[in-house]
Structures are given as C-alpha cells and as structure tokens.
Amino acid sequence: MLTVTPLSGTIGAEISGIDLAAASDADIAAIRRIWLDHNVVFFRDQTLPPAAFQTLARRFGTPIEYPFVKGIDGFAEIIPVMKLPHERVNFGGIWHSDTSYLDTPPMATMLVAREVPAYGGDTLFANMYLAYEALSDGMKMLLDSLKCVASSAKADVSRTREDRIRDGARNDAKTLYEATHPVVRTHPETGRKALYVNTAHALRFDNMTEAESAPLLGYLFEHCVRPEFTCRFRWTAGALALWDNRCTLHNPINDYHGQLRSMHRITLAGDRPA
C-alpha cells in the first residue's frame, strides 16, 4: 500500500511502501496520479542500477538525451549529475525548468541519488501553478498574451554545466539552443495554467529587447520562488525524485564544498508548450 506524505502545504510528496523496480502497472498509474497532484514526488531506499533506472523511466515516458553532456557508458539517456570535492560550482545550481530552451522541452525529470554529502546538497522545488494563480487579474491578462525566448547561453547557467562539459561533452552539441514559448502554459494533462519562465533560461519577451524585458522578468523570477510556493528535499543514497517540468522549477543548493554529490538523471520527452 502506498503511503503519501506531503513535504509542504503547496508542493511535493514523499511516497513510501513501494519497491519501484518491482512496481505493478497499477502502482505506476497510482504514482502518476499522485505526481500530477503534487508536481514532484520522492521515494527513499530504491535499488535502481542504470538498467533498472532506465526501465523504470520508460514506464512513465520516453527518455531523451541531454543536448550538452554524454550519457554514462551504455546508457545514452542517463547523464551524471555530480559535483566533485574539488569543484566549486554545482551542475544546474540555479532556479530552472530543465532544458526549456528546446522547441519541445521535457515533460519530466527523474533523478536518483548515488552518493550524497554528509550534509547539504538539498534541492528546492517551486509550484508554478500557484505562482500564476497568485498574480492579479491584470497581470494575468498581460502575461497570457506574451511569449518568451528561452536560451541555453545565459551566463549563470552556462557556468553550472562547465565541469560536466569538460569531462563529457557531446560531440554533436550545438553552441546555442533557443526556443520561444508562452509565458503562461496550459498543462496538457491537468488543464491548469502555470507560469513558464525561469531565471536560468528566460532571456527576453518575444519582439522585445533584453533591456525592455528585464524589469518584468526580474519581478517574475522573484515571484515564482516565494517561500510559500516551495518545498525542500534532503537527499539520501537511493532516493529518487520525479518532477513535472511543465509546472515546476527546481534549484539544487550548492552548500557542500569539499564533498562528493553524485546522481543519475533521465529526462522524459514532452510536448510543445501551449
């Protein structure tokens, strides 16, 4: 029997009472319903070597390759997400939705912890449904008509992938990925509206300059991650998170210098935001 424990009043739930490697079709369907209700779900103490991790991911969607970094040996869709003890910058250490600069961004991300620091390295998550719903009616009307250009080349996020590109860059990676998406997207499964901008990738509004866009984007970046929209997850070895990139931002905290944090990540194919 699945036990669901919310992590906060607004986002995130920990699911216990299941071995994901042996989950039935009914279990997977139930987890998907819980996931759609909570944006991100977590599991502890899962034994998921790469083959089992990939098999599990395929039960939720279609794994896709990350555009910048090669997958681990034998598994092109599983990328290493790590920070070595001598490194100072963590991979993806900024509020974002994964690869929102792609024309068809991923629906979801699955992340499993292999080795974790003795302390630190938690991940924050933010609910973009609530971020949209908390806006005034006038702001909603303005944003509903806007589109935003997302770029892979913003300076802060580029730095957070430098170490992994140095160690394992894909030979076919482009230097730049850009896509234009609605500022407010409608979730294709729940029908709810969510803000779809983030400080890592949102560059400017379509048909505007970066300078013209900056004041409103700056407000949205701060608004999206108000504490009441968030939860915080403390990792343990064997823990797994599954989050919905269509309505969720995340931010891994870089507070464990001198320690190793090693994870494996799979992203699942999505649809074009609308």
Catalytic annotation, residues:
96, 98, 250, 265
CA distances 201 to 27, 38, 70, 125, 221, Å, are: 35, 24, 21, 17, 11
From 99, 101, 95, select the one nearest 181 (Cα to Cα). Answer: 101
User: What whole-number distance in Å separates Cα of residue 108 and Cα of residue 68?
Assistant: 18
> DSSP assignment of 129-151, as one string?
HHHHHTS-HHHHHHHHT-EEEEE
The 10 Å Cβ neighbour count of residue 5 is: 10
262 neighbors 115 (Cβ within 8 angstroms): yes
Give the dihedral of Cα atoms 131, 134, 136, 137; nearest 10 deg. 90
User: What whole-number distance in Å separates Cα of residue 10 and Cα of residue 12?
Assistant: 7
Q: Which tokens sit at 6?
A: 């919310």
178 neighbors 149 (Cβ within 8 angstroms): yes
